[in-house]
Structure 1
Amino acid sequence: MIGWNDIAHLQTLGRPLLGVDLGELDGRGRTIDTLVASQVSWRGARLQGCRLKNVTFVDCDLRGADFSEAVLEACSFTRCKLDASRWDKASLEQTALTLSSLQGSRWQGGRVVMSAFTQTDLRGADLSGITLHRAVLAQSQTEGANFERAVLDQAVLPDVDFRSLRVAGLVAHNAVLREARFDGMDLSQVIFQRCLLEGASFVEVDLHGVDLRESNCRKASFVRSNLRGADLSRALFLEATWTDVDAQSATCENSLFQSATLERVRLDRAKATGSIWDHATMRQVALPNADLSYAHFDHATGEGIDLRHAGLQHSSMHNTRFITADLSGAARHRLRGTSMARLAAESRSLSLEMH
């Protein structure tokens, strides 16, 4: 059976480790630098606490391998079998896993930095407590994976279907989650700060108290969702759709709802100072007792708008066309209406928008 002296000799010659079975070879705590392993079988490999640098695995069978507390730098795994492998508290940097199977693998407390999972099979994987920093997970299978308490820091996970994933306690900062699907999920314990959620789907989702501060939810869909008490400060909902949403007592300070469509939405007692609703379409939207000071509703249209006892101080309703709106008891100090001079100046651009 091949041993470490044989591998060292191949490294000296600059030759790959090719087509061998490493059997029970013990790699615990070892340092392996600059090696290519191709068509190697090393099932159940013991690699706890090892250090791998510039190591390339191609078409290798590493099922059940234990990389716990290992440190990998500039490594790659291509078309490898890594099912049931263990990566608890492992550290991966500038490492690529491509076209590989990682079903049932464990990554508890691991840290993955500037690395990529591409076309990998992570079904049933346990990634609880993992940190993905400037990492990419793309075109991969993730059904049944556990992301509880995971940290997505500037990570990129486009077009992921989260519906079968466990995500309680997940924290996402500056993460790219474009076209994500969260339908039917409880996200009340999740944080999405400054995330790109463009085109995401939130149908029948529990988002009460969620943190969506400064996130980009352009063209996202919120349907029959609970956003009570959510923090949406400085979030962007450009061209988003809100239908049958309960967002009572939500914080929407300086949020952007420009060109959004809102129908049967409750925003009672919302804190929406400085929010922008320009060109929005609003039907049966309730904003009683909401703080809308310095808000803008320019060119917004709608009907059935409830603004009773709302704070509209210093707000703008230039060319706002609410067919029916109840402003009884609303504070309207320095509320600005339509400026004919401004409307005339805008007439050409508005005509182009309509066409």
Structure 2
Amino acid sequence: MKRDDVEKIIETARRAGQIPDLSKINLAEVDLSGINLHRAYLSGANLSGANLSGANLGWAYLREADLSQANLNRVNLNSANLFRANLHKANLNEADLRRSNLRGADLSHAYLYRVNLRGANLFRTNLVYADLTEATMIGANTSGADFSLANLTEANITQEQLSIVSSLHQTVMPNGLRRS
């Protein structure tokens, strides 16, 4: 499927007053930069290696979607549902993930420089080897999250949030904070 096909599906659904449903669609390696997928259903979709930089995925439903190695630089994922999504090696630099549900998601080896995770649900999220340099995580639920070997340099996270994660093994900690 190509970008034009996706845009037609979105336009047709919105004209009919419906939410675009792209569940289980294969969009691997497709350039979707800047596309508006606000509130779209993308459950189980294959977006691996896709370019979604600058896209609007606010309130989108991406449950168990494959976004591995996708370019999500500066993407809006505010309040998106990414339950058990695969974001392995994804580029989420400067992305907006406020209030998003990342419960059980795989963000291992992901690039999350200056990402906004304020109020996000990171319960049991895999963040092994993730680069969270200068990330904002105030109010995020970090219970059971695995931050092993992650980089939290200059991250905005509290000692209390770090005390409830499952692992901080060899994690690069923010200034002034320690492993519990």
User: Which TM-score bucket, shorter chain as reference?
Assistant: 0.7 to 0.9
Q: 1-side partners of 2:86 and 2:114: how far apart?
A: 19
- SS where residue 264 of structure 1 aligns? coil
The verdict on how the C-alpha distance between 1:249 and 1:168 changes in structure 2, with shifts beyond 3 A counting, is: closer
Highest Rg: 1 or 2? 1
Aligned to 1:158: 63
Per mean C-alpha deviation after superposition, the further-off stretch among 230-239 and 245-254 is: 245-254
The verdict on how the C-alpha distance between 1:134 and 1:205 changes in structure 2, with shifts beyond 3 A counting, is: closer
Aligned to 1:230: 135
Identity across matched positions, percent: 23
Q: 2-side partners of 1:244 and 1:84: how far apart?
A: 37
Encode CA deviations 1:290-325: one digit per residue, 9 max, x unaligned. xxxxxxxxxxxxxxx5xxxxxxxxxxxxxxxx7xxx
Structure 2 residue runs of 5 or longer lacking an equivalent are none
Count residues with an aligned counterpart.
177
How well do the aligned residues superpose, as a CA RMSD in angstroms? 2.9
Contact 1:236–1:257 (8 Å) recurs in 2: no
Q: Which is strand-richer, 1 or 2? A: 1
1:73-84 → structure 2 map (5 Å cutoff) = none
Flag the structure with more relative contact order, 1 or 2, with Cα contacts below 8 A and sequence separation at least 6: 2
The answer to whether the aligner puts 1:119 opposite 2:24 as a matched pair is yes
Aligned to 2:174: 268
Aligned to 1:249: 154
Contact 2:72–2:93 (8 Å) recurs in 1: no
Q: 2-side partners of 1:200 and 1:264: how far apart?
A: 21
The answer to whether the aligner puts 1:91 opposite 2:11 as a matched pair is yes
Aligned to 1:277: none
Q: 2-side partners of 1:127 and 1:153: how far apart?
A: 15
Structure 1 residue runs of 5 or longer lacking an equivalent are 1-81, 97-111, 271-286, 289-304, 306-321, 323-355
Contact 2:123–2:143 (8 Å) recurs in 1: yes
Q: 2-side partners of 1:257 and 1:154: how far apart?
A: 27
The verdict on how the C-alpha distance between 1:184 and 1:123 changes in structure 2, with shifts beyond 3 A counting, is: closer
Q: 2-side partners of 1:189 and 1:212: how far apart?
A: 10
**Which letter does structure 2 place at the counterpart of 1:269?**
N
Q: 2-side partners of 1:169 and 1:210: how far apart?
A: 8
With normalisation by structure 1, the TM-score equals 0.44
**Which letter does structure 1 place at the counterpart of 2:128?**
V
